[in-house]
């Protein structure tokens, strides 16, 4: 089974390989990430993942297209990827000692069918010192991560607890994805079938 992943995220490719997907085409979708003011976090990730999937499907008809978008949400605020070290530091200070939600919108388009879902995981950070934040930002790990941290990396040192799907926090909720693929008639045998190939 071949999957066209409408994302440049190496983490999403790695997660797909971890569940046996051998044939992955990565085709990042160049779309606007703006959402209307007042859009809820769940609606925002659903809208963005659908936008990416639609753009990729238009360029690659006939492929099974998978798109995802992940955001970190605090009450009244959405955290995407930081644009600078200063913004990364500010995001981490806002997460320190608090719970936040990690939301991923997933959209699959295959032929005439389309399926969308949103997964939410609640993560709690321990309290962080200014020195810890500064040292972490200096590693550059936060710079391409929603919420300015990687739970699968150094950022794991800050995570006090997690409620929900761990893989969702990495960037792709695998359990939810498996259930969605089943609705397309794609199970383990189909996922793991085919040559080992990753095309950039």
CA–CA distance, 153 with 10 (Å, rounded to integer): 13
In sequence order, the β-bridge partners of residue 110 are 113
For residue 106 the two structure tokens come to 């997933």
User: Cβ–Cβ contacts within 10 Å for residue 56, how many?
Assistant: 25
Query: How far are the Cα atoms of 20, 52, 104, 108, 193 from residue 4, in angstroms, in the given order?
Result: 15, 12, 18, 10, 15
Considering only CA atoms, which of 171, 183, 199 is closest in space to residue 18? Answer: 171
Phi, psi at residue 84, to the nearest 5°?
-155, 165
1 CA to centre of own chain:
21
Active-site residue, from 43, 69, 144, 165: 69
CA–CA distance, 170 with 58 (Å, rounded to integer): 27
CA–CA distance, 102 with 70 (Å, rounded to integer): 7
Q: Are 158 and 126 within 8 A, CB to CB? A: yes
CA–CA distance, 88 with 104 (Å, rounded to integer): 20
Question: Would you call 43 a catalytic residue per the annotation?
Answer: no
Q: Which positions are catalytic?
A: 69
């Amino acid at each position: 089974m071949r999957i066209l992943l409408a994302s440049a995220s190496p983490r999403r490719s790695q997660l797909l390989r971890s569940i046996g997907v051998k044939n992955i085409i990565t085709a990042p979708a160049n779309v606007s990430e703006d959402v209307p003011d007042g859009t809820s976090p769940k609606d925002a990730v659903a809208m963005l993942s659908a936008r990416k999937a639609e753009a990729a499907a238009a360029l690659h008809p006939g492929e099974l297209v998978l798109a995802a978008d992940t955001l970190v949400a605090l009450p009244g605020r959405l955290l995407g990827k930081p644009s600078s070290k200063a913004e990364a530091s500010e995001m981490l200070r806002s997460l320190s000692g608090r719970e936040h939600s990690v939301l991923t919108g997933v959209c699959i388009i295959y032929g005439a069918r389309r399926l969308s879902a949103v997964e939410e995981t609640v993560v709690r950070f321990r309290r962080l010192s200014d020195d810890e934040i500064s040292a972490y930002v200096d590693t550059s790990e936060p710079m391409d991560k929603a919420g300015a941290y990687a739970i699968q990396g150094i950022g794991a040192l800050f995570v006090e607890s997690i409620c929900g799907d761990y893989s969702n926090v990495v960037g792709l909720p695998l359990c939810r994805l498996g259930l969605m693929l089943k609705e397309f008639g794609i199970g383990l045998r189909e996922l793991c079938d085919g040559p080992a190939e990753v095309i950039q």
